[in-house]
Amino acid sequence: MRAPDMPHVDVGAYALGLLEEPDRRAFEAHLATCFSCHEELGALSGIAQTLDGIGPIADPVDAMPAPPEPAAVTDLMRHRIRRRRRHRAARALAAAAAGVVLLGGALGTGYTLGADRGPTASASDGGTAELLRNGRAMSATDAGTGVTGTVAMQGKAWGSRVGLRLSKVRGPLACELVAVDAKGGAHTVVGWSVPAKGYGLPDSPQPQLAVQGGTALRPEEISRFEVRTIGDGRTLLTVPA
């Protein structure tokens, strides 16, 4: 697999005729749209022609050992080019694999991005539905914003697992669910974005949003939940705990 920036480093190899057929075709396609490579190739082409026109020169008696034949040099350069490409491709694949592993680990354990992080059983709507069925659920509607939602929580050894279903909200917005303790301290549970058409409105593609996360607070330490906008901190919905 070719790295995205590889055509830019192929100019010299192309000028010397060192590229293999697939790479030569790929570079020529790139050359048609890259002005900088086109200019560099024009400068290198004269050097390549000069080198091509130099014939063999007789060695003096006390000369150093003759350099390798041009064919050997060409083969060596081709080998180095292929090895460099394999090395870059391997690094790119390794980075991609590492990203997949990290993403898979994040999805598997379900860690939230809030200030109080705690593991959840699942980041899917199915996991939230299970939590709303089996956890302690509270619902509310805000008369001012029209936003309606249900929050459910379960006590865990590390704190509380929390799920939310939200509807009648229009975007675009960036929001977060906040658990508020008895002293008024705010602890972010989970954050998300709301598309322009929102959720649960006449022109919304989806009737509701389902998310879940966690907080280090135990259920008895939570006085209420608030759905807030990120940035200006407006409260869209308050759900008593």
CATH topology of domain 6-109: Arc Repressor Mutant, subunit A (1.10.10)
Domain map of the chain by residue range?
A: 6-109, 125-240
| Residue 121 pLDDT class (50, 70, 90 cuts) | very low
Mean pLDDT of all residues belonging to the chain: 76
Is the pLDDT score of 1 beyond 80? no
Residue 86 has pLDDT above 80, yes or no: no
Average pLDDT over residues 19-31: 81
Topology agreement, domain 6-109 and domain 125-240: no
DSSP the chain: ---TTGGGG-HHHHHTT-S-HHHHHHHHHHHTT-HHHHHHHHHHHHHHHHHHH----PPPTTPPPPPPPHHHHHHHHHHHHHHHHHHHHHHHHHHHHHHHHHHHHHHHHT---SSS----S-SSHHHHHHHHHHSEEEEEE-TTT--EEEEEEEEETTEEEEEEEEESB-SSEEEEEEEEETT--EEEEEEEEE-TT-BSSTT-SBS-EEEEEEESS-GGGEEEEEEEETTT--EEEEEE-
Residue type for position 4: P
Q: Out of 78-82, 156-160, 231-235, pick the least confident.
A: 78-82
Closest to 163 (Cα-Cα) out of 82, 204, 219: 219
Average pLDDT score over residue span 31-44: 75
Instruction: Write the class of the CATH domain 125-240.
Output: mainly beta
Asked if pLDDT for residue 149 goes beyond 90, the answer is: yes
pLDDT of residue 151: 96
186-199 residue pLDDT tens: 999 999 999 999 99
Q: Report pLDDT for 211.
A: 93
Least confident range of 39-43, 89-93, 220-224? 89-93
Q: How confident is the model at residue 21 (pLDDT cuts 50, 70, 90)?
A: confident
